[in-house]
Amino acid sequence: MCIESNESREIRKRNKKIEKILKENKSIVRKQVKLLLLGTGESGKSTFIKQMRIIHDNGFTSAELINNRIYVFHNTIKCMQLLLHAMKYLSIEFENFENKNHYAEQILSIDCSYSQATVIFANQLSLSKDLVDCIRCLWSDSGVKQCYEHRTQFQLSDSAEYFFENVERFGQPNYIPTNDDIVRIRLPTTGIIEHLFYIKSAKINLRIVDVGGQDNERMKWINCFEGVTSIIFLTALNEYDMFKYKSNHLNFNDSEYDQMIQILDGRKSENRVNRMQESLNLFSLITSLKTLFKSSFILFLNKKDLLEEKIKRSPLKRIFEDFNSERVNGNINDASDAGQFIKELFIRNAFSYYNDDKQLFNQYDNNGKIINDNSFHHHQTLNGTISMNSNNNNNGIHHRQSIKRETKTIYSHFTCATDTENIKFVFDSVKWTILNKNMEDFGLH
Task: For residue 255, name the pLDDT band (cuts at 50, 70, 90).
Answer: low
Give a yes or no: residue 24 inside a domain: no
Let me know whether 160 and 220 are in one domain.
no
* pLDDT greater than 60 at residue 345: yes
Range with top average pLDDT, 14-23, 41-50, 106-115, 128-137: 128-137
Choose one of 176, 207, 224: the last residue of a domain: 176
The answer to whether residues 47 and 115 belong to one domain is no
Task: Among 121, 154, 176, identify where a domain stops.
Answer: 176
In terms of domains, do 149 and 226 share one? Answer: no
DSSP assignment of 268-297 equals: -SSSEEEHHHHHHHHHHHHHT-GGGTTSEE
Considering the domain architecture, whether residues 331 and 364 belong to the same structural domain is answered as yes
Q: Name residue 36's amino acid.
A: L
pLDDT at 413 over 70: yes
**What pTM did the predictor assign?**
0.77
- Average pLDDT along the chain: 77
What does the pLDDT read at residue 321?
84
- Please state the rounded mean pLDDT for residues 389-411: 48
Q: Looking at 146, 176, 206, which one is the last position of a domain?
A: 176
| CA atoms 404, 408, 414, 419: torsion sign | negative
Q: Which of 28-32, 85-89, 141-145, 226-230 has the highest mean pLDDT?
A: 141-145
The boundaries of the domain holding residue 43 are: 34-60+188-433
Q: Is position 321 within any domain?
A: yes
Handedness of CA 5, 7, 13, 16 (dihedral sign): negative
Same domain assignment for residues 308 and 194: yes
Residue 112 inside a domain? The answer is: yes
d(CA 339, CA 348): 14
Percent of the chain with pLDDT over 90: 36
Neighbours of 225 (CB within 10 A): 17
Q: Do 136 and 163 fall within a single domain? A: yes
For residue 136, pLDDT beyond 90: yes
The residue type found at 16 is K
**Where is pLDDT greater, at 168 or 438?**
168
Pick from 29, 46, 30, 28: which is nearest to 38 by CA? 46
Mean pLDDT check: name the lowest of 39-43, 243-247, 341-345, 413-417.
Answer: 243-247
Nearest to 349 by CA among 259, 282, 260: 282
CATH number at residue 153: 1.10.400.10
Total structural domains within the chain: 2
Q: According to the model, what pLDDT value does residue 188 have?
A: 74
Q: What is the DSSP string of 112-134?
A: --HHHHHHHTTT-SS--HHHHHH
Cβ atoms of 380 and 386 closer than 8 Å:
yes
Same domain as 196, residue 164: no
Local confidence band at 113 (pLDDT 50, 70, 90 cut-offs): confident
pLDDT value at residue 391:
32
DSSP code of 366? T
pLDDT at 350 over 70: yes
Q: Is the dihedral of CA 39, 42, 46, 47 positive or negative?
A: negative
How buried is residue 174: exposed, middle or buried, by Cβ count under 10 Å (0-12/13-18/19+)?
Answer: exposed
Whether 4 is in a domain gets the answer no
DSSP line for 367-431: TS-BS-GGGG-----TTS------S--TTS-------------EEEEE--TT-HHHHHHHHHHHH
Using the predicted structure, report yes or no on whether residue 407 has a pLDDT greater than 80: no
